Structure 1
Amino acid sequence: MGVIRSRKAFLAFLLPGLLFYIFAVFYPIEESIRLSFMEWGGIGEKTFVGLNNYIQMFHNKVFYTAFLNNLIYLVIVVAMQLGIGLLFAVMLTYMTKHVTLIKTLYYVPCIVTTVAIGQLFRSMYSTEPMGLINQFLQAIGLENLVTSWLANVSTALAAVSIPEGWRFTGMYMVIFYAALVSLDPSVYEAAKVDGATEFQIFFRIKLPLIKDIILLTLTMCLTGALRGFDIPYLLTNGGPGNSSELMSTYMYKKAFSSNQYGYGSALAVFIIVESILVVFILRKIFMTEEEKEARRMKREKRRRKDK
């Protein structure tokens, strides 16, 4: 099969996808940025207000509550999805039977609809009738811990974070498993001969070798958690009070419930900037010495050309 070398042929294949990406991603972002400088209720003329929406945002207590809640939500979701996903992937590498079946079973929650997952956990958290979690606590003699998990200010945020963490654990398990089984066994078999333990092999050999996969999954998981919306909105709608309010639910309420599209767009822009910063910081942290040296050499060449 011949290799396509014509630039026109490349453009012909790339153009449909590129156009779709521009209209589906860049155009909405551009509209959000433009609307963030406007005051608009959805009908009538838009009024330019400059940075007023951003000033209002940074002077609003609910914004800071939502931001802090988002950080806690992010920690719980990332710990579950990546921590448990990696643990299960490592355990799978030591299994010889029914690996495909287990991967399939753990992956199923990823393809279940959000509404079904929300309803499942709502019934598990309930007190009337008694949900599975409260029944379990009663069965082991911890009746004092029985509570309405979604209506309790102290537990609502964790209660909406756990379903999202559980939902995609299987997906990250499959990704980590594929990365681990693709490694050359001779590398860590040689380490075993030299007396290395399983823990040493895992932390000093396997993890560094799948560093790129860890960066990819961290990026996916963090940006996904920063944009988390559907399950928290379905379970609590940010309540009780603002105890489980996230940036995305707060933005949705302001834009589509209160018809403050300018203020809602300012919140959306903040979420976009937040996600970009996370990706930038992750790339800085995971950058190898070779990449740092290559960038330094490029900067040196540019300086010489400028001179």
Structure 2
Amino acid sequence: MLPYRSRTAVLVFLLPPLLLYGIAVLVPIVQSLVLSFFRWDGITAMEFVGLDNYVRMLTRDDIFWTAFVNSLGYLAICLILQLGGALVVASLLIGLRRGRELVKTLYLLPAVISTVAIAFLFQRMYALEPVGLFNQALAAIGLDGLQRAWLSDVGTVLAAVSIPEGWRFTGLYMLIIYAALIAVPAELEEAARLDGASRWQLFTKIRFPYIRPVWITTTIMATTYALRGFDIPYLLTNGGPGQASELVTTYMYKTAFSHTDYGYASTISVFIVIECLVAVGLIIVLLRRRADS
């Protein structure tokens, strides 16, 4: 559809980022795929084992499956906080008359704060001794019996490491959804109001269907990032206590750099890539099917 000179210009400008993407992303993925068929400790010669690493991962590694289930729980909590919170805040911002820019800035701040700073902040907030913010809040409303060391309790640690990640990117996704909401034609909303549509009907029948493509993209971003989540859980608990907060990503890291089993760690990394691709496919199919129904 473009004239020849325009196509040439597009190719010239696309080539550098495509090369950078290939070197920084695609080449490591291919290297991990090749390495996953070997047993290697990083020092001695690599030993070809074929599919043994994959068989071990799927049938003989209980820790991997514990980490996988934890990753699904981590994903669910992150999506509820990030997408649900972003949609609520963006919808409220539409009706805000003053201070809109200030609110957007405050919600976006966590996305630009250092990950290490966020981890240490929540570590102090979760603490039992000295008493952190969460336990202080429980004491203030008379729920002293619920106070606990949130990062040391097997029953709460997974949620505790998921909440900072959910909070961190809520503002970013809020801005994306907000930009989509303000692009909804005012004529459609005005016509719906004249027909007697309630606020809920206005949202479900006009606004949300209009922003569905943006919602699909945002859901894909949040899902893939949560499935690759590593830094905050690793800094807060390192997968503990036991394997209560172990994620596939933290398990892969420890397999590679603590146990120096780079072949098996590469197998886990290939699984993470496949997991993300499957998740993206499911999101696209489910959301588009719902849109068509």
- 1:288 offset after TM fit, Å? 6.5
Asked if 1:56 corresponds to 2:56, the answer is yes
- Give secondary structure in 1 for the equivalent of 2:220: helix
Q: Find the aligned partners of 2:163 and 2:105 in 1 and give their Cα distance.
A: 21
Distance 1:200 1:290, change over 3 A: closer
Q: Which residue of 1 aligns with 2:78?
A: 77
Q: How does 1:178-217 map to 2 (within 5 A)?
A: 178-217=179-218
Q: Which residue of 2 aligns with 1:22?
A: 22
Structure 1 residues 224-233 or 275-284, which shifts more? Answer: 275-284
Q: Which residue of 1 aligns with 2:114?
A: 113
Distance 1:288 1:152, change over 3 A: closer
TM-score by length of 2: 0.96
Q: Find the aligned partners of 1:73 and 1:61 in 2 and give their Cα distance.
A: 18
AA matched with 2:67: A
Q: Which residue of 2 aligns with 1:241?
A: 242
Runs (4+) off by over 4 Å: 288-291
- Give secondary structure in 1 for the equivalent of 2:64: helix
Q: Find the aligned partners of 2:131 and 2:291 in 1 and give their Cα distance.
A: 57
Distance 1:288 1:149, change over 3 A: closer
Q: Find the aligned partners of 1:290 and 1:12 in 2 and give their Cα distance.
A: 38
Q: Unaligned 5+ residue runs, structure 2?
A: none
Q: Which residue of 2 aligns with 1:122?
A: 123
AA matched with 2:48: F
* 1:228-271 deviations in Å (ceiling 9; x for gaps): 10000000000000000000000000011110001000000000
Q: Which residue of 1 aligns with 2:269?
A: 268
Q: Find the aligned partners of 2:92 and 2:80 in 1 and give their Cα distance.
A: 17
Q: Find the aligned partners of 1:7 and 1:133 in 2 and give their Cα distance.
A: 57
Q: Find the aligned partners of 1:290 and 1:149 in 2 and give their Cα distance.
A: 40
Q: Find the aligned partners of 2:176 and 2:243 in 1 and give their Cα distance.
A: 35
* 1:11-41 deviations in Å (ceiling 9; x for gaps): 2211111110110010000001001100000
AA matched with 1:20: L
Q: Percent identity?
A: 51
Distance 1:99 1:289, change over 3 A: closer
- 1:6 offset after TM fit, Å? 4.2
- 1:4 offset after TM fit, Å? 7.9
Q: Which residue of 2 aligns with 1:41?
A: 41
Q: Find the aligned partners of 2:173 and 2:103 in 1 and give their Cα distance.
A: 14
Q: Which residue of 1 aligns with 2:11?
A: 11
Q: Find the aligned partners of 1:170 and 1:177 in 2 and give their Cα distance.
A: 10
- 1:7 offset after TM fit, Å? 3.5
Q: Find the aligned partners of 2:169 and 2:10 in 1 and give their Cα distance.
A: 35
Q: Find the aligned partners of 1:235 and 1:187 in 2 and give their Cα distance.
A: 47
Distance 1:146 1:180, change over 3 A: same
Q: Find the aligned partners of 1:140 and 1:7 in 2 and give their Cα distance.
A: 65
Q: Find the aligned partners of 1:27 and 1:272 in 2 and give their Cα distance.
A: 13
Distance 1:289 1:166, change over 3 A: closer
- Give secondary structure in 1 for the equivalent of 2:241: coil
AA matched with 2:162: S
Q: Which residue of 2 aligns with 1:299?
A: none
* 1:106-156 deviations in Å (ceiling 9; x for gaps): 100000000000000000000111101101111111111000000111111
Distance 1:7 1:182, change over 3 A: closer
Q: Find the aligned partners of 1:201 and 1:69 in 2 and give their Cα distance.
A: 37
Distance 1:87 1:49, change over 3 A: same
AA matched with 1:52: D
- 1:284 offset after TM fit, Å? 1.5
Distance 1:198 1:42, change over 3 A: same
Q: Which residue of 2 aligns with 1:158?
A: 159
TM-score by length of 1: 0.92
Q: Which residue of 2 aligns with 1:167?
A: 168
- 1:289 offset after TM fit, Å? 9.8
- 1:43 offset after TM fit, Å? 1.2
Distance 1:290 1:243, change over 3 A: closer
Q: Find the aligned partners of 1:290 and 1:118 in 2 and give their Cα distance.
A: 38
Q: Unaligned 5+ residue runs, structure 1?
A: 292-307
Q: Find the aligned partners of 1:153 and 1:285 in 2 and give their Cα distance.
A: 33
Distance 1:91 1:289, change over 3 A: closer
Task: Say which one has the larger Rg.
Answer: 1
AA matched with 1:27: V
